Structure 1
């Protein structure tokens, strides 16, 4: 039963799980569910190697990391990404950053090549997001950068992006300058 409890709590994430909902999921009474959760809580507390604990708030249960591992988690999340961004992804990201919100077709027009693969990569890395739909035929998806984009490049706001030259059209973004300006901010 502890494996199922752990799996449900892990999947619930920061939302946690209400005791009554938990009992319904497992098909047992709330009293039996409370006993199972207490047993799991105790097992984690007694396991010196466990990195997790169960927190109860009212009748909601959460699976959390133990506070003593905060430094290691901070280092993990502050570290560089597993892989750098490809040139295509940087190009798409630069175009979105300067022209957001923008559709994929508009990005393709600026680049002169199809950009859906780079968009998928950027979305999976949570650097860009869907920002609504354009009021045009087919209602294409609009893309914009995310707060993680700012964190990734060490920017406070989009105003901190390297400025484009006044004479330079938005469709002529110098991607080398964009990457170079941000290179000092990343560990790529």
Structure 2
């Protein structure tokens, strides 16, 4: 029964689960469940390899990282290489790939929103880089893709990108295919393998 309780709390994730929800799921009373939860809590605390604690926030029970691991976990979670690209980042990356060299202002005009944060994220992941400056007032930065971008997507050159016209013919809109998360989803943790 302890394993079932531990499993339900695990699956509940960040939302956690209440004592009454556990009791209903396991066909037990809350008074029967409470000592079992305490036993799971103690087992996690006592096990030398356990990185988690079972805590109660309000009415809900959930797992959290043990306090002594907080700095390490925080650094890992904030590392740009551990996060997948969001839809806005993928859109920005595709625009740079198809229209390079391109300024942030032009990207903003195409997307209809500011792309500054997306450009910073893509630069930090080595997918785009500064390729020059436009000979215009303020000398805005021109962006282009990196060799890592080509390597990651197994492209020998930008000519290997699918033509935008083909994308428009084969889908409801070009942006649905061009910005498809399945096509462009990146987990840069793979780059170390």
TM-score by length of 2: 0.48
Please state which structure has a larger fraction of its residues in helix.
2
